[in-house]
Amino acid sequence: MTRSGSFQPPMSLQCELTVVSRIDIRYILTLSTSTLRLHFAEAGSLRYVRPPQRSSPLITHRLFTAFFVGFCMSSATVAYSAPPDFAHDIAPILREHCGKCHIGANKKGGLSLNTRATLLTGGDDGKVIVPGKSGESRLYAAVISRDPDVQMPPQGARLTDAQVAKLKEWIDAGANWDEGFVFQKPSYEPPLKPRRPELPPTVSQRSHPIDRLIDADLAKQRRQRPAALDDIAFVRRTALDLTGLLPSVESIKEFLADKSPDRRTKWIDQLLADETAYAEHWLTFWNDLLRNDYGGTGFITGGRKQISKWLYQALIENKPYDQMARELISPSPESAGFSEGIRWRGTVSAGQTVEIQFAQSVGQAFLGINLKCASCHDSFIDRWKLDEAYGLAAIYANQPQEIHRCDKPIGRQAVASWLFPELGQVVASDPQPERLKQLAELMTHPDNGRFTRTIVNRLWQRMMGRGIVHPVDAMQSEPWNADLLDYLAVNFAENRYDLKQTIKFIATSAAYQSQSEVIDPQADQQNYTYGGPRAKRMTAEQFVDAVWQITGSAPRTYDAPVVRGKADGLSPELSKLTAQWVWSTAEGSSAVPKAGEAITIRKQFTLPAAPTRAGGVFTCDNSCDCYVNGKKVFASTSWERIEGVSLESSLRAGNNEVLIVGKNGGSDPNPAAILCEIFVRLPDGTSQTIASDATWEWSSTLPKPDGKFAKAPQDWAKAVPAANQGVWGSRINGEVLTQLTHVALKPQRMVRASLLKADFLQKMLGRPNRDQIVTTRPNELSTLEAIDLNNAQPLADSLVAGSKTWVQKYASQPDRLVDNIYLTLLSRMPTTEERALSVEALGPSYDEQSVQDLLWAVLMQPEFQLVR
């Protein structure tokens, strides 16, 4: 932290403000709220007047500004300039013209400008500045001098007249300095290129590369190696870290029964092989990092898009991270939500346009670089400059980007460029999609070690409780073990950016499989040294999932627009497709179907009961919009891209209607057809299939975009199966079956909290509003959160629901009940004492209430809430 103050002119100065003829907009902007800023932006030209009274000039000036700026009064007579603001006006001049010799380690002539104190002390020849008196200040004399022996800087560009005037004004105003501001080159600059460190020798057979590095570190710090994690704690920690779920009692027993020496590795492999559990746990991490959610600010005005489908699929497939990054930076429509950011209706400050948001998000998510400061002015906290933030923004921009400094245009256009030209540069003159591709390549360039270090550090933090660079979004900071970070990064790249591989790499180390550190806050102030992994508080999602796991009270539906799990395998129940490709005519003759022709086709049908499970597949050559009972369920512009659509919540008992608006493409008549197959499971276990065929009807009347007709069509006629079904079917029928099986027949797993919009409990327990990228969840419980844990109704309701099952299962077997509660919640057996206490609390004839209370009392234990 270097800049902590805000500029406040001394009172004397306020009363002696120089009268000048021009308007200093900077002053207005420095002082103004965004209110005034916006007024200014709209008002165009404006004047600034001296207030009638002088009692409290600053306040009154501002009030008048508000008024006059806002309402274009032009009767202004006198305007006057503001005193210079140190951080914005003076620091850049000193840095630019004096930095080479007098900043950081440089003290030419004994003069350092690093702090106000060193400036006032002066150099070998004495003082260079007399606050309040520019005429007596040698620094001022030197910058205006023409004498080559005296002038400063001795070589290079002189200060401009405006800069000289600012400097003079500043000295005369007392040479104020923002408190705490220090000029210095950052003491640490992270390396760009990857580096493969030499591994220290193996000690005590701990040969895992991470352990060789960590053991050497521990030895150097003279710290004890943390004790190894026992099996039970290992099982619990890995299950929660890798899949976000409590390990089931059966899986724990299986693990303990396995006596092979590599059972821990097998266990880790097994967890990571569960694609759905893995994806739905890590979804939370990625949603936070890419600020993706299923609801939130911006959606209401259409200013924001989800990337949920793309992201879910990427995690299910374990898509290589470099490919993910490329697809996020140079996106398809499915992944574009990340780069497009949040577009607010109305005026937005220059530091939050979507182009600047792009620069900030790309910098933070992929590089752990904070460009938020630099998108307003040259950063005071790291090396990033305004031009660099704008350069990145300009890669994304479709219009020229005028650089704004603190919301004020500086008269220069940004040039599309990225942050590390050492690796190459984008071609600023290329069209935007090209530039984005170039950026994607540069970001994932094999020599970009910062890209890989940033992500492995995030994974390390998630699993080990604290980053190797910490905080994880301040990657300019020095790692506590550079070799470890570099090794992980190189290893990650060598494993083709395989996220699961790195997670496994960490999880299989003895370092990870160690007991977590007992943290003494006093000993942890400045110089962190590694003393073992740190406990993590359960995320909101983990806690909610765990409650659902032990009470069976997860909801049936979820908000994420995804079909869960991996589409693979078929079911004997759905071995063949029954649907036919249909249109208004059978054949593509030379005249029909016309290019661009659109028709509506429908099917009305009844169901004896609301389905317990239902899914469908819709497609059309060339495009379609699909509605079920008046609700739009699907739209497609590519007939070959097949996707299952979940329909449980759309279909109902009684009459149902499927309506598809199909549109032909092309420029000449060409074949067109629609295909739809829906599979419905009814409560009695039977199934029903609704599939497009000659019983469907078509009409040339099209509904409005909401799926409703302005006037009911009168021309419904029978749909006609296409003459040559194989044209389409041969290419995609297999995929249609796979997707339909996936959406309608695959066993449903417990819905996970990560798939739901944030409800009150999740928000209370720290799930962020994903308006901004938030990569670190609060690690500590607040009192308000604790109140909710005590009395939140959803939690109480879950416990009520769950207690029934527990009581039924272990009626009049209090010992077994207690053992299983401990096993399920804490993954271990209770001690004799714990069992006795719990059994006593349950009472001789325990009921659901006493079980609820025991469940709660165990849920609240730190042993449950902290992942150790």
Residues 49-88 that bind other proteins (CB under 8 A): 56, 58-59, 62-64, 66-67, 70-72
* Least distance between other proteins and beta carbon 180 (Å): 8
* Least distance between other proteins and beta carbon 477 (Å): 10
Q: Which of residues 348-407 bind other proteins (CB under 8 A)?
A: 348-349, 351-352, 357, 360, 370, 372-373, 375, 379-382
Q: Return the residue of 31, 76, 216, 702 that touches other proteins, per CB under 8 A.
A: 31
Q: Which is nearer to other proteins, 382 or 483 (CB)?
A: 382
- Cα separations in angstroms, 743 against 234, 520, 566, 648, 748: 35, 50, 10, 10, 9
Which of 402, 532, 370, 514 minimizes the C-alpha distance to 466? 532
Q: Return the residue of 10, 12, 18, 42 that touches other proteins, per CB under 8 A.
A: 42
* Least distance between other proteins and beta carbon 589 (Å): 49
Q: Which is nearer to other proteins, 314 or 369 (CB)?
A: 369
* DSSP code per residue over 133-165: -GGG-HHHHHHH---TTT-SSSSSPPPPHHHHH
323 within 8 A of 330, measured Cβ to Cβ: no
Which of 492, 510, 634, 544 minimizes the C-alpha distance to 213? 510
Greatest extent of the chain over all pairs of C-alpha atoms, in Å: 101
Q: Answer yes or no whether residue 815 interacts with other proteins by CB under 8 A.
A: no
Q: Which is nearer to other proteins, 49 or 792 (CB)?
A: 792
261 within 8 A of 297, measured Cβ to Cβ: no
145 within 8 A of 136, measured Cβ to Cβ: no
Task: Output the CA torsion sign for 141, 147, 152, 157.
Answer: positive
Phi, psi (rounded to 5 degrees) for 224: -75, 145
* Least distance between other proteins and beta carbon 771 (Å): 6
Q: Return the residue of 269, 387, 524, 735 that touches other proteins, per CB under 8 A.
A: 524
Q: Return the residue of 121, 297, 323, 529 that touches other proteins, per CB under 8 A.
A: 297
* Least distance between other proteins and beta carbon 83 (Å): 14
Q: Which of residues 779-798 bind other proteins (CB under 8 A)?
A: 779-787, 789-793, 795-796
Q: Answer yes or no whether residue 837 interacts with other proteins by CB under 8 A.
A: yes
Which range touches other proteins (CB under 8 A), out of 25-33, 499-507, 549-557, 807-815? Answer: 25-33
Which of 100, 766, 188, 135 minimizes the C-alpha distance to 474? 188
619 within 8 A of 675, measured Cβ to Cβ: yes
Prior bond of 10 cis (ω within 30°): no
Q: Return the residue of 13, 39, 211, 699 that touches other proteins, per CB under 8 A.
A: 39
Q: Which of residues 493-522 bind other proteins (CB under 8 A)?
A: 518-521
| DSSP label at residue 74 | -
Q: Answer yes or no whether residue 256 interacts with other proteins by CB under 8 A.
A: no
Q: Which is nearer to other proteins, 537 or 663 (CB)?
A: 537
Q: Which is nearer to other proteins, 155 or 783 (CB)?
A: 783
Token code pair at residue 153: 């800087």
Q: How many whole angstroms from its chain centre is CA 442?
A: 21
d(CA 302, CA 572): 43
Token code pair at residue 265: 């590795």
Which of 310, 313, 358 minimizes the C-alpha distance to 334? 310
Q: Which is nearer to other proteins, 97 or 466 (CB)?
A: 466
Q: Which of residues 154-193 bind other proteins (CB under 8 A)?
A: 179-180
* Least distance between other proteins and beta carbon 363 (Å): 11
Which range touches other proteins (CB under 8 A), out of 24-32, 89-97, 416-424, 656-664? Answer: 24-32
Q: Which of residues 470-489 bind other proteins (CB under 8 A)?
A: 470-471, 473-474
Which range touches other proteins (CB under 8 A), out of 469-477, 578-586, 700-708, 736-744? Answer: 469-477
Q: Answer yes or no whether residue 778 interacts with other proteins by CB under 8 A.
A: yes
463 within 8 A of 272, measured Cβ to Cβ: no
d(CA 32, CA 35): 7
* Least distance between other proteins and beta carbon 6 (Å): 4
* Least distance between other proteins and beta carbon 382 (Å): 8
Q: Return the residue of 4, 12, 413, 578 that touches other proteins, per CB under 8 A.
A: 4
* Least distance between other proteins and beta carbon 758 (Å): 8
Which range touches other proteins (CB under 8 A), out of 324-332, 419-427, 593-601, 853-861? Answer: 853-861
Q: Answer yes or no whether residue 557 interacts with other proteins by CB under 8 A.
A: no
**598-607, strands of its sheet edge to edge:** 631-636, 623-628, 654-663, 598-607, 697-699, 717-718
Q: Which of residues 740-769 bind other proteins (CB under 8 A)?
A: 759-760, 763-764, 766, 768-769
Which of 556, 528, 566, 703 minimizes the C-alpha distance to 631? 703
Q: Which is nearer to other proteins, 30 or 238 (CB)?
A: 30
Which of 314, 319, 325 minimizes the C-alpha distance to 445? 325
* Least distance between other proteins and beta carbon 802 (Å): 14
Token code pair at residue 168: 């003079």
Which range touches other proteins (CB under 8 A), out of 282-290, 686-694, 805-813, 833-841? Answer: 833-841
366 within 8 A of 325, measured Cβ to Cβ: yes
d(CA 183, CA 128): 17
* Least distance between other proteins and beta carbon 525 (Å): 7
The number of residues that bind other proteins (CB under 8 A) is 115
| DSSP label at residue 18 | P
- Cα separations in angstroms, 148 against 112, 144, 145, 161, 345: 21, 11, 8, 18, 56
Token code pair at residue 54: 């002088």
Write the binding mask 701 to 740 for other proteins: x where contact by CB under 8 A, - elsewhere: ----------------------------------------
Q: Answer yes or no whether residue 221 interacts with other proteins by CB under 8 A.
A: no
Q: Which is nearer to other proteins, 301 or 578 (CB)?
A: 301
Q: Answer yes or no whether residue 413 interacts with other proteins by CB under 8 A.
A: no
Q: Answer yes or no whether residue 34 interacts with other proteins by CB under 8 A.
A: yes
Which of 561, 647, 618 minimizes the C-alpha distance to 311? 561
Which range touches other proteins (CB under 8 A), out of 590-598, 686-694, 801-809, 832-840? Answer: 832-840
